[in-house]
Amino acid sequence: MSQEAGIGAGRKIGILIIDDHHIFRQGVQINLEVHEDIEILGQGADGEQALALVRKLQPDVILLDINLPRMNGIQVTRQLVAEHQPTRVVMLTAFDDPEQVIHAMRAGAAAYCAKEIEPEKLVDVIRHVYEGRYVVHNQVFDRAGIEGWISRGVEAVAGQYYADLAETFSPLSAREMEILQYVCRGLSNKEIAKKLKISHQTVKNHMTAILRKLAVEDRTQAAVFALRRGWVRLKDTSNG
């Protein structure tokens, strides 16, 4: 693909880079800004910065890590979709497993890439996404194609229980993610209820939904699931 493929004359793709490692952000920027059809609009180190910068700068594409302080990348993606932001999300992450990809794409991401991706391939992904396509593991899809890919992926992971797990891989709500963060820190349902100023039964209801969506049996498995995929940090500090 040529350097200007698919881009109108003089039109640059505005990019936002969000990762809490400053050196990684700089490396990505250096590799991207040599392309004449790409413009780096800004950088951020956590999920809340990501939302603020998207609202302010209106980038075409955001390169977004999943394992972020304050709000993880999947939460950010869901919020951008909820706000009907036109910015398209490329998940660029070290957490790469089939279930994680499905969660990210169902949350609204347009592409999912491992951080080890070659710079030229990343540029191709950005161009595909900018032009309205979806990219997963070097496969390029249109909207109908990615919906079919997600359905097949869910069925493959869920196996014979697929019919009973129709909501599995549905993105967690903001409240569910908040509760899951407290679960990972070892708080009981009663303690979580007190922290959030909601009823004990409401917390239990949310926990039931969390277990169903993650297809796990108990709160310990839910915590392990979230921690292994970088959804939750035990210490939410940024070194960006």
What the chain holds in terms of domains, given with CATH numbers, is: 13-150 (3.40.50.2300), 172-228 (1.10.10.10)
For the chain, which residues score pLDDT lower than 70?
A: 1-10, 155-170, 234-240
pLDDT of residue 7: 53
Which amino acid is residue 33, in one-letter code?
Answer: E
CB half-sphere exposure, 14, CA atoms < 13 A = 11
Residues 6+ apart with CB under 8 A from 199: 193
Q: Measure Cα distances from 161 to 9, 85, 157, 170, 225 in Å.
A: 51, 35, 9, 15, 19
**Amino acid of residue 185:** R
pLDDT of residue 102: 85
Query: Distance between CA 157 and CA 152 in Å, rounded?
Result: 9
Q: Can you state the angle between helices 174-184 and 73-82, rounded to 10 degrees?
A: 170
Task: Give the separation between CA 104 and CA 217, rounded to whole angstroms.
Answer: 22
Per-residue pLDDT, 144: 93
Q: How far is CA 185 from the centre of its chain?
A: 22
Q: What is the DSSP string of 107-174?
A: HT-SEEEETT--HHHHHHHHHHHHTT-EEETTEEE-HHHHHHHHHHHHHHHHGGGGGGGTTTTPPPPH
How much is the pLDDT for 40?
97
Whole-angstrom distance, CA of residue 16 vs CA of residue 166? 34
Residue 180 sits at φ, ψ, to 5 deg, of: -60, -35
Q: How far is CA 143 from CA 99, 111, 133, 149, in A?
A: 20, 12, 7, 10
pLDDT at 160: 44
E strand residue ranges, the chain: 13-18, 38-44, 61-64, 88-93, 111-114, 134-136, 139-141
Say how far apart CA 112 and CA 51 lie, in whole Å: 19
What are the b/e assignments for 194-219, b being 16+ CB within 10 Å? Answer: eeeeeeeeebeebbebbbebbbbeeb
pTM: 0.72
Cα of first residue to Cα of last residue in the chain, in angstroms, is: 33
The set of residues, in sequence order, having a beta carbon less than 8 Å from that of 184 and lying 6+ positions away, is 223, 226, 227, 232, 234
